[in-house]
Amino acid sequence: MSQSLLPFILFALVSSISPGPTNLLILAHGARLGLRASLAPILAACGAAATIVLLVGLGLGELLLRHPLAQQLMSWAGVLWLSWLAWKMLRSAAAPLREGNGQGFSAFSAASLQVVNPKVWLMAVAVVGVFAAPSLPVWMLALVFWLIALPCMTAWAMLGVGSTRWLQAPQRLRVFNQVLAGILLVSAWAAVLA
C-alpha cells in the first residue's frame, strides 16, 4: 500500500477523536439516550464527513476555495446551527436521562452539522491536498476516514453512556449539560470570530 496511508490514518484518528461540536453532541446524546439511540447520528455524521472528503477530492474543494463568500456563509450557518443546538441542550439541562419523550441528536441533524461545518470542509481540503495520490485515491481516503471516524465517535457516545449513572443526580446532570452547551457555544463562535 501507499507510504502515505499510515500518516493519513494517524491524521484521521486525531481529527476524529479530538473534541469538537459533533463529538460533544454525541457525548450528550449517549448520556441522555444510550448507545443504541446514538448509532444513527454516529453513522450519519461519519458518513457525511467521509462524503465531504470524497466530494472535495472530486473537485468541490476547488470551487469552495474560489468563493470565500460561500465559506463565510457556511461558517455563519454552522455557528447558528450550533448555537441552536446549544440552546436546546441548555433548555433540557435538568430533564431526566433516558426520558421517553426526550429528543436526541437526529441522524439528519448530525449529517447537516457536518455539511455546514467549515472545519470539516477545511479538513477535507487538507486531506485531499496532502494525502491524495495515485496509490491512495480519494475514494480510499474517504473510506478509510469513515472506518476510523466510526469507532472514534462511538467512543464519545460510550463515554456519555458510561457517565449516565453519575449523571442521575439532577444537579450533576444540569451542570454537565450546561458545561457541554457552553463549550459548544465557545467552540462555534471562536471559530467564526477568529
DSSP 68-119: HHHHHHHHHHHHHHHHHHHHHHHHTTTSPTT-TT-----HHHHHHHHHH-HH
Question: Domain count of the chain?
Answer: 1
Predicted confidence at residue 74, as pLDDT, reads 74
- Alpha-carbon dihedral sign for residues 48, 65, 56, 183: negative
How far apart CA 187 and CA 155 sit, in angstroms, is 20
Look at 154 and 28; give whichever has higher pLDDT: 154
Residue 147 has pLDDT above 60, yes or no: yes
With beta carbons less than 8 A apart as the criterion, state whether 114 and 49 touch.
yes
Contacts for 13 with CB less than 8 Å, ≥ 6 apart: 148, 152
Mean pLDDT in residue range 5-29 = 89
Most confident segment among 31-40, 70-79, 168-177: 31-40
pLDDT at 72: 77
Ranked by mean pLDDT, the top range of 11-15, 148-152, 189-193 is 148-152
Residue 14 CB-density burial (10 A; 0-12 exposed, 13-18 middle, 19+ buried): exposed
Residue 172 has pLDDT above 60, yes or no: yes
pLDDT digits (tens, 9 = 90+) for 51-103: 999 999 998 877 777 877 877 787 788 788 778 878 877 777 666 655 544 56
Chain mean pLDDT for the chain:
84
Type of residue numbered 160:
G
Residue pair 153/22 in contact (Cβ under 8 Å)? The answer is yes
Which of 103, 104, 108, 110 lies closest to 82, judged by CA? 110
Statement: residue 118 has pLDDT above 80: no
* Amino acid letter for position 101: N
Burial of 68 (0-12, 13-18, 19+ CB in 10 A): exposed
Q: What is the DSSP letter of 169?
A: S
The reported pLDDT for the residue numbered 45 is: 97
Domain boundaries, position 102: 5-193
C-alpha distance across the termini of the chain, in Å: 39
pLDDT value of residue 46: 97
